[in-house]
Structure 1
């Protein structure tokens, strides 16, 4: 195979069609740029849905991985290894928490958080067995396992995958009164994204997250923050919750924790919550493996400098200033976001999100649509202002703005 068309045809012939990728075949990448098999370069404004916050081919992360590859990559949790203690200690410190339960993917971490909340509800809160309830928000995206799609409101994620797992209540995102009305004596947790990514980078109203924090404290309910996309620098803070001065009971982390090198996720919480687990009750063969820990330790070291949080804040302010006139000019209906993260609702007169993504692809810019009319902009945090402006200029061009 030599041409992009041959690669795409082979992929479509021999893989399940659970994704609808744009017609580009990436061969190499560095920083904020990717190059396809034909040698054409593209500016990456998606960053693997925030898994690549620190850029493609980040040398610090690659060196950490190379060094560990020469030592040991997997022991399983049947044995200790010499990177595990440092990883757990430093991630707990970064989060201001006490214990870490490592997994691999974001969905695994969410499933772990669900089990954690239920166990806490039965063992600590005293909820009768089998009655634990977790409240989630409409428009959520926490993964695609059978349990998680049971509380999705997205028909594409949910349809044809029943019977669905009970134990969840769905309330409108950002509606504190609806959340308060849904909490009862059997409620063990509220699980929320501080900013809803897949829904189109929806930022809740000011005061919502502090209201959730106060409500959950008053009703003896865990507040679980899914920061898989929003966390680890994307919004201009280490965690999106920080913008509202909120510290949840549980952080759910993934994506950028593995630096775009290996899948790494984790649930991070207090000893009172995570300390309830006993051997055999939960686990993962690859969770907390030496290679994952080595890469994640370098991610934590990068975040400790604050450099990338500051870049996301400063470039994010610039991004939103540049996008705002598109609303005034009628090319887009709305722009939302925080930090170096934006959801852009395309005016139907300019096409839908997929059409705009394809037109940008033809001009050397990679974005992805969601829910029809929206495109998301989330470049690697290493992107230069000049490259960001170049990409935004092409967006204005395809929108005729």
Structure 2
């Protein structure tokens, strides 16, 4: 069975009229002149542009000038999961047919990627073409600064602008306590705006809405962080299902099960994601460096360029630590994320594996030399 042809593909519109029609239909989803230029070769082949608003088991929902269509991704399913179609992609789809097929997707401007929990060392792309990566953190639970730093490393690496949103601010009514928590997060997120919002009272939503009005944003965070409630508040209607957190540990249940892209009434586009329990790094060296910018800056002043910030003389990082200018927690978190990132890269990169072995031997030799020095003092 074949569906009716696309009104845009079959009507005798001029080039300028067609461009205007496409812009009118897709502009709320982020379509612009740059995307139009990238799509031009596919337009010449009679394909329609569209943005993926949802992906599910080899099929996806694509918003097109014809409306939202269901399309099969069979022709663009690669072996590399990082190249699979995902929510946020701009794609070229058949103008008609049943089913329709995605024939290609346009080069991504940004991509938020994490390591999967499998033992195969694969990356998983969560969202594409994102301008703002919103790390949502509930003020109703104890702050996990290490997890915030982990999310921010992936956010910086994606190419998007990170933003930390502390939700459920109404549950911390004391301004002094709230200010203290914000300061704690700001210390762990240099260069990243930190906002407090309450979806229940509306506090802070106007500021967040203004920030998101100029692009595509993705909501990230653990289950129970209030992502779906926040999404509903930003959308102005109950689009996402919401469940209560558990009383025993304050954790939430997975409410959102797929990644959904939705236009915001005040402009901009929002991608809501399922709660992420595991947030593994995936080749995020530069992202880790940006999260710990103050440590990277200190390290540039160490006597040795390969300083491990341990027992080496002339270490600017250790000096800042001893002087109280650098918290031990920050340094520990920095080292942890660096080691994790090196490990995941080494599993898929032979050169990185060799460098990791070389570094391990160097540290082992240092340890043995230190033990020999101690034994010499004991004799």
Give the TM bin, normalised by the shorter chain.
under 0.3
Normalised to the residue count of structure 2, the TM-score between the two structures is 0.24
RCO higher in structure (CA 8 A, sep ≥6)? 1
Q: TM-score, normalised by structure 1?
A: 0.23
- Larger Rg computed on CA atoms: 2
